[in-house]
Structure 1
Amino acid sequence: MKAAVLNQIGDGELDVRSDAATTEPGPDEVRVRIRAAGICHSDLSAMDGTLPALAPGIMGHEGAGEIVDVGAHVQDLQPGDRVVLSFVPPCGKCVCCLGGQPYLCEVHTVAAFTSPRFLVGGEPAFGFAGCGAFAEEVVVPAVGANRMDPDVPFEIGALIGCGVLTGVGSVLNTAALTPGATVAVFGCGGVGISVIQGARLAGASRIVAVDPITDKHADARRFGATHTTTPEGLDELKGEVTGGRGFDCAFEVVGRSATIRAAYDAARRGGDVVVVGAGGPEETVEFTAQELFVNEKRILPSFYGSCDPRRDTALLLDLWRAGRLDLDSMISDRLRLDDINDGLAALKAPGAGIRRIVTF
């Protein structure tokens, strides 16, 4: 089968090969034929070493497809079921899962770094984030394959698998945003647009999208932002929108120390700062003990939208079906697996669309 392989960390392009294969599904695993996979900036971050990944490995973690085979112990999925992949499958038994934080479950995440589920040229290879969605088929834990109805397009399911769950979840789960809140969103890529949509769903009164690339501002407004600005214009707009008080909630969706600090400064005293962006270990942020004490702003990291992928995948599909979550318009382009490197390169181009989908 075909797969896009990262031969070693630091490679700028993926090697599309035809000599890949999956391992056989274990008792609690399923084999999924991938039908659509989103190209996420986290794939680039894994390729350059910013995020942890193993090589050789199959990239891609935002995918949807149909079950073609199930392990002996799998009872709630069967061949033909349409599913959305989750890169943090909850085991349901650990302290995090039992404590209501399944997005922090480490059981299957650790296994993804120790158990290769692919063979490339006969040699073991890993799937990025336990998935490897830039392949025609994957083998994943059954709990990492969330069923969706037969009428849901695979492209829609793929979007939900990472970017939309992360963005909307950061609003509804991590921040638990209240109606009428004022919001600033730093970064208007695919996850940032999902944050904007989440803020609109939650009933935010004003949503300010902040991005230095002005080409992204029209998209931000189309998906729910009430105001847009570059970072240089934020102070003036903060005065106009909040009377200088600051925003009730500021979302950072870039993963850079400068934007995390800017989000903190944009939030009001007693407000929330939600860090959604996946930054590297070199991105450090400095605060004084006094400002933390006096301002009492809550800094809330949001990993995978603080979601329960089983619950929230179904919720977001219901919102999409009801017309309250616009996922179709987030798709900027569709391409073949053979053109994956073109799609990755486009992520680096200023203002070049929201989400690209590889279709199989």
Structure 2
Amino acid sequence: MKAALSRAFRTPLSIEDVELAPPGPGEVEVRIRACAICHSDLMFISGGWGGSLPAIWGHEAAGEVVALGEGVDDLAPGDRVALTLIRACGSCACCAAGQRTYCTEPFSLSAASPIRDSTGAPVAQGLKCAAFAERATVHRSQLAPIGAQIGWAEASLLSCGVITGYGAVTNTAKMPVGAKAVVIGAGGVGLNAVQGAALAGAAPLVAVDISDDKLEIARGFGASHSVRAGETAAQEVRTILGSGADYVFVTVGATAAMESAYQMLAPGGAAVLVGMAASGEMSTFDPLTLADCGQRIIGSKMGSSVIERDIPALVRAYLAGRLKLDELVTGRFPLEDVNEALDRTRAGIGVRNVIMFD
């Protein structure tokens, strides 16, 4: 099996001597057709969140079902699916409350990777997927059907970037119509928060980013105003919104962006932290202001998504012309060029760079 293997944090190598175990009970083997590059992959590759090596990363993927493990009877070989890192038992306290992204139950795949190198030594299944590879074995709960009318690259985006940004607005924040909203970061996740907020009726809707080009793109996704990130960004946002924002969605993992968000909030406003900083980094806020103004800081992982509900709904919205996906795909690369795709993403070139498999 061909895969992009991280032997050192900054050196993903293309190799062909990796073996994938057959799917066990409750598991599914998927032939990967497309895998988009997310900044979470870059964070792990750089060592920002620890992890063991060697490892195969990649988690924003779509493909075809190849083989089914015992007990999986609602899929068939050839079915087209989105593959996510959300592994959920469906019955623990978090799952029962609809918070499947925080499932607490153990899985056999979590205890032992299904991937081995040519010597038989284990290779870490990065982000529970290891989708920078021709095939991946995941738990059934990580898959959602996508139907036959959506392209592979566009479908792969639904597995993380879209549900994370869009879901932060609709699932985590449950933002009401007419709310004043700000989205900090106009990358792959941020643009989906922008279009999610626009479709939810935010007014005004301000996009904040360091790139003029990305701010222009954000306007195409529904932002009514744009502000360059920097020392004066919070003041500029408050000038636009008056009393401040009802919701600020921080879609980048930078503590400076988080602290800027707290300064943008209106009384009763909420800062929704979507982007994840490196382990050990700290963000500070004024607890007196937070309490006195009734403000909130809310964490959002993977858009609080229930993928079997949310991904098919997003596919329908895309096919109906309400959801932009084509515009997010700005680079397509074969697996052999994964390093170039990673470098472009690291440099902020493009919105979503996608690894395509024939």
TM-score, normalised via structure 2 length: 0.95
| Equivalent of 1:357 in 338, 341, 354 | 354
Q: Does 1:299 align with 2:308?
A: no
Q: Does 1:224 align with 2:222?
A: yes
Q: Against the structure 1 CA distance between its residues 113 and 161, is the aligned structure 2 distance closer, same or farther, given a 3 Å change threshold?
A: same
**AA paired with 1:44?**
L
Partner residue, 2:149: 151
**AA paired with 1:124?**
P
Partner residue, 1:160: 158
Alignment of 1:124-139 (within 5 A): 124-139=122-137
Work out the number of aligned pairs and report it.
Answer: 355
Deviations 1:331-352 (CA, angstroms, capped at 9, x unpaired): 00100000000010011224x1
Alignment of 1:191-340 (within 5 A): 191-232=189-230, 233-243=232-242, 245-340=243-338
Partner residue, 2:3: 3
Deviations 1:189-220 (CA, angstroms, capped at 9, x unpaired): 10011110110110111211111222211111
| Separation of aligned partners in 1, 2:289 and 2:224 | 30
| Separation of aligned partners in 2, 1:73 and 1:254 | 39
**AA paired with 1:183?**
A
Conservation of the 8 A alpha-carbon contact between 1:54 and 1:113: no
CA-atom RMSD in angstroms:
1.5
Structure 1 residue 97: deviation in Å?
0.7
**AA paired with 2:236?**
L
Deviations 1:269-320 (CA, angstroms, capped at 9, x unpaired): 1111100001122321222332221121111110110111111111111111
**AA paired with 1:276?**
V
| Equivalent of 1:103 in 88, 101, 104 | 101
**AA paired with 1:345?**
D
| Separation of aligned partners in 2, 1:153 and 1:140 | 22
Q: Against the structure 1 CA distance between its residues 36 and 45, is the aligned structure 2 distance closer, same or farther, given a 3 Å change threshold?
A: same
| Separation of aligned partners in 2, 1:306 and 1:242 | 27
TM-score, normalised via structure 1 length: 0.95
Structure 1 residue 107: deviation in Å?
2.8
Partner residue, 1:42: 40
The answer for unaligned runs of 5 or more in structure 2 is: none
| Equivalent of 1:12 in 10, 14, 38 | 10
Structure 1, 279-288 or 15-24: larger mean CA deviation: 279-288
Conservation of the 8 A alpha-carbon contact between 2:262 and 2:285: no
**AA paired with 2:223?**
A
The answer for unaligned runs of 5 or more in structure 1 is: none
Deviations 1:105-151 (CA, angstroms, capped at 9, x unpaired): 1335x644421111222322121111011000011111212112122
Conservation of the 8 A alpha-carbon contact between 2:5 and 2:56: yes
**AA paired with 1:241?**
I
| Separation of aligned partners in 2, 1:71 and 1:293 | 51
Partner residue, 2:57: 59
| Separation of aligned partners in 1, 2:52 and 2:312 | 31
Conservation of the 8 A alpha-carbon contact between 1:37 and 1:63: yes
